[in-house]
Amino acid sequence: MPKGKKFVGEPIPRVEDHRLITGRSQYVDDIVRPRMAYAAILRSIYAHARVKAVHVENARRAPGVIAVFTGEDVREAIGPVPVASRLPDLKVPKHPVLAVEKVHYVGEPIAVVVAEDRYLARDAVDLIEVEYEPLEAVVDPERAIAEGAPIIHEEFGTNVAFVWQLSGGDIERAFREADLVVSQRMVNQRLIPVAMEPRGVVAEYLPGEGQLTVWTSTQIPHLLRTQLAAMLRLAENRVRVIAPEVGGGFGSKLNVYAEEALVGYLAMRLGRPIKWIETRRENFLSTIHGRGQIAEVEAAVKRDGTVLGLRYKIIQDVGAYHQLLTPAIPTLTGLMATGPYKIPNLHVQVIGAFTNKMATDAYRGAGRPEATYLLERMMDRIAGELGLDPVEVRMRNFPQPEEFPFPTASGLAYDSGNYQQALRRALEIVGYEGLRQEQQQLRQQGRYLGIGISTYVEICALGPSPALPAGGWESATVRVEPTGKITVLTGASPHGQGQETSFAQIVADELGVELADVRVVHGDTAIVQYGIGTFGSRATAVGGTAVYGALQKVKEKATRLAAHLLGEENVANVAFEDGCFFLKDNPERRVTFQEVALAAYLAKSLPPGMEPGLEATYFFEPSNFTFPFGAHIAVVEVDPETGDVQFRRYVAVDDCGRVINPLLVDGQVHGGIVQSLGQALLEEAVYDENGQLVTGELTEYAIPKATDVPWLETDRMETPSPVNPLGVKGVGEAGTIAATPAIVNAVLDAVAPFGVRHLDMPLKPEKIWRAIRGA
């Protein structure tokens, strides 16, 4: 190993990329098993209907069909789709994998066909006849919880799924003492995650071993295994879940889906491997959606811009059922409701509303983009009402750097931060003063420049176990093979984030080996010790720390063995550098890491009591969340004649703690900003009044294309987190959290001269044009 060579902090290209770019990775659909049959699912065409009968005879007789099952056929055999988050008085409707008696959203599975190939399976689906009795659909969440709305789950007598509240300080007093109350109703529209790879499942049952193997495109193989075992009434150690290459998740695969249990059941029942691959249309209809919040926000403010308190009334569009984490998502909005500001008084109320639509759940950012959007829009509204610069209002309300760990009104303790510095840096990069002058000049010429600021803090590294339904730790095994090569088994389940690279960087530095000597393995419950998975910007901060912990154990043992091999009694006299152990008082006496590894396995001469082998497992339990922060500034120009928005600049200053690999961090920030741009300007899941998903295709639902994306000027700060020894905070969601309000604020700043104060997303040209014209 070359002297002093370090990998952490270096922009190392991803080791994953070669196989991904050359098409050599294995996704679920690439998996082929002997005698495999194919499943296709009949889904409800009504948003709300009674199912009087399902006639499957013609489908059963169709060419190549092996079996057809309805909800009645499997209701005893397969347990309900689970929800892991519990809120007080949460209404949990029964959620069968195939509908019985009633359907509650368009796309709800009703029956499944298994046939010799996917074409025959799909053809036979058309031969199933369902007798529906359509019921009035409830699409609008506000209507759903209003008097007289049709009830979706009759057993509850209401469409209110939950009411959740959070208070801090004295909110009544804040409003009494306010000079001014600024209020705004805002919508975080429903979004569709649109991972490039749709979901898919292959299941195979080995009757001899009594083992069910399920390959599925998931972010949480171990949690899924536990749930599948329960749904299928199998022992957990008889279920093996494998997440092969996963083509994006964004939270949409942080779940337990009906199809995962159903396909597993079919494999056992029919004694053949079964494959089901979701079509894009199914992906739109029946993979979770994100956001879907209507909020009324009130701010109690002083004339100088000090915000005394915030009151939120939020209606969360739940959809027809809870998926795994549905009710938890808006609670994250509540927890982050004071954002990066010192706002001592807070009240948040969230009402969850059942609607005849697909469930909402975690979508990149999961509750935090909603919070940041609401608050950053409010900051601009407050600035507008008081005639202050948006920068001034933000600066006025930031906590000082010496106030960290900073306690929030929502009960969190922000670990570390310097919010002023991030904003100042972004302002400097963008040339804020100059832009404001240019804006004035352009307005004289009838051109409309807008500058939008968003300062944010996010809650990451989810999280301490008490805060998460299934534990918030992460696990890692570092296995040094006899040849000195290193295998890392991580309980995290990366699916595009690049931890095969960043974890290898951590290992290479700690053990003084080359990157190529390290292999990071994940996503197979038969190989990897129990783990939690990848979501909530946790993989590096929690999973990476677990790797680091296991490395310390390995190093400790290797050092003791090295001392023994060097004939040194005093272990403290052994140092380790650049892949070699040597005596501090006699550096010529040395043994390489590889030699120590081999000696550990040959076990000819071990210190008394030492076990052979060289590997260690570490479960890391974080003591707190981490709180990355930053400032984003968008500069746009609006064409007043058409409402078209063009980007001029986009500046992002992010502080995600210590950076393991700047390329990966930039990649995460870029992707996040692009998804934000989608929410700000383009995307919206639109259901019509009958509950039909109008934006059910990529030709109707606009995700950002490369040509929509401006040049992104990214810069960063590194304020290490005290929460973990790596100092890492997490960056998977920062862009998505920060950018949406920056872009919306920019557009609204541009059209401010027309008297437009607020518009709900997506800010499509026609909407802007109408607002300008109406003004």
Residues that bind other proteins (CB under 8 A): 118-119, 122-123, 279-281, 641-642, 644, 682, 686, 694-695, 697-703, 705, 708, 764-766, 769-770
Nearer to other proteins, 173 or 767 (CB): 767
| In the complex, minimum distance from the CB of residue 342 to other proteins, in angstroms, rounded to a whole number | 39
| In the complex, minimum distance from the CB of residue 410 to other proteins, in angstroms, rounded to a whole number | 36
Nearer to other proteins, 383 or 763 (CB): 763
Name the residue among 507, 539, 487 with its Cα closest to residue 729.
539
Nearer to other proteins, 530 or 754 (CB): 754
| In the complex, minimum distance from the CB of residue 492 to other proteins, in angstroms, rounded to a whole number | 32
- Cα–Cα distances (Å) from 528 to 46, 124, 220, 244, 601, in that order, read 42, 39, 12, 13, 21
User: How large is the angle between the packed helices 545-565 and 499-511, nearest 10 degrees?
Assistant: 30
Contact yes or no for 355/159 (Cβ under 8 A)? yes
Nearer to other proteins, 544 or 678 (CB): 678
CA 107 distance to own-chain centroid = 23
Name the residue among 314, 222, 373 with its Cα closest to residue 758.
373
Nearer to other proteins, 16 or 282 (CB): 282
Q: Which residues contact 553 (CB under 8 A, 6 or more apart)?
A: 478, 616, 618
Give the C-alpha separation, 740 to 394, whole Å: 17
Contact yes or no for 309/169 (Cβ under 8 A)? yes
| In the complex, minimum distance from the CB of residue 107 to other proteins, in angstroms, rounded to a whole number | 14
Name the residue among 664, 651, 661 with its Cα closest to residue 738.
651
- Cα–Cα distances (Å) from 672 to 170, 322, 720, in that order, read 36, 26, 22
Give the C-alpha separation, 582 to 577, whole Å: 8
| In the complex, minimum distance from the CB of residue 38 to other proteins, in angstroms, rounded to a whole number | 10
- The SS3 call for residue 68 is strand
Q: How much of the chain is in helix, strand and coil states, percent to nearest 5?
A: 30, 25, 40
Site of tokens 């195979």:
204
Nearer to other proteins, 118 or 269 (CB): 118
Give the torsion through C-alpha atoms of 121, 122, 127, 130, to 10 deg.
Answer: 110
| In the complex, minimum distance from the CB of residue 65 to other proteins, in angstroms, rounded to a whole number | 15
| In the complex, minimum distance from the CB of residue 700 to other proteins, in angstroms, rounded to a whole number | 5
Site of tokens 């929030």:
408
State the alpha helices, DSSP H only, in 126-252. 141-144, 171-176, 221-232
| In the complex, minimum distance from the CB of residue 681 to other proteins, in angstroms, rounded to a whole number | 8
Nearer to other proteins, 9 or 765 (CB): 765
| In the complex, minimum distance from the CB of residue 281 to other proteins, in angstroms, rounded to a whole number | 6
| CB-side neighbour CA atoms (13 Å) of 702 | 16
Q: Which residues pair with 353 in a beta bridge?
A: 160, 317
| In the complex, minimum distance from the CB of residue 675 to other proteins, in angstroms, rounded to a whole number | 15
Nearer to other proteins, 198 or 732 (CB): 198
Q: Phi/psi at 463 (nearest 5 deg)?
A: -170, -175
Give the C-alpha separation, 506 to 510, whole Å: 6
Strands across the sheet containing 574-577: 574-577, 580-583, 586-592
Q: Which residues pair with 298 in a beta bridge?
A: 183, 311
Name the residue among 204, 266, 264 with its Cα closest to residue 234.
264
| In the complex, minimum distance from the CB of residue 46 to other proteins, in angstroms, rounded to a whole number | 19
Q: Phi/psi at 517 (nearest 5 deg)?
A: -80, -10
| In the complex, minimum distance from the CB of residue 694 to other proteins, in angstroms, rounded to a whole number | 6
Nearer to other proteins, 605 or 707 (CB): 707
Nearer to other proteins, 198 or 471 (CB): 198
| In the complex, minimum distance from the CB of residue 774 to other proteins, in angstroms, rounded to a whole number | 12
DSSP assignment of 278-329, as one string? --HHHHHHHS-BEEEEEEEEEEEE-TTS-EEEEEEEEEEEEESS--TTGGGH
Nearer to other proteins, 38 or 650 (CB): 38
Nearer to other proteins, 533 or 762 (CB): 762
- The SS3 call for residue 753 is helix
**Residue 771: exposed, middle, or buried by beta-carbon count in 10 A (0-12, 13-18, 19+)?**
buried
Fill in the amino acid letter for 84.
Answer: A
- The SS3 call for residue 637 is strand
Q: Which two tokens stand for residue 178?
A: 């306010």
Q: Phi/psi at 3 (nearest 5 deg)?
A: -65, 130
| In the complex, minimum distance from the CB of residue 150 to other proteins, in angstroms, rounded to a whole number | 25
- The SS3 call for residue 478 is strand
| In the complex, minimum distance from the CB of residue 355 to other proteins, in angstroms, rounded to a whole number | 19
| In the complex, minimum distance from the CB of residue 696 to other proteins, in angstroms, rounded to a whole number | 10
| In the complex, minimum distance from the CB of residue 642 to other proteins, in angstroms, rounded to a whole number | 6
Nearer to other proteins, 61 or 280 (CB): 280
DSSP assignment of 216-275, as one string? E--S-HHHHHHHHHHHHT--GGGEEEE--S----TTTTSS--HHHHHHHHHHHHHTS-EE
Nearer to other proteins, 523 or 640 (CB): 640
Contact yes or no for 622/545 (Cβ under 8 A)? yes
Nearer to other proteins, 124 or 343 (CB): 124
Nearer to other proteins, 491 or 762 (CB): 762
| In the complex, minimum distance from the CB of residue 187 to other proteins, in angstroms, rounded to a whole number | 17
Nearer to other proteins, 112 or 600 (CB): 112
Degrees (nearest 5) of the Cα angle 458, 463, 468?
Answer: 115
Nearer to other proteins, 170 or 708 (CB): 708
Fill in the amino acid letter for 240.
Answer: R
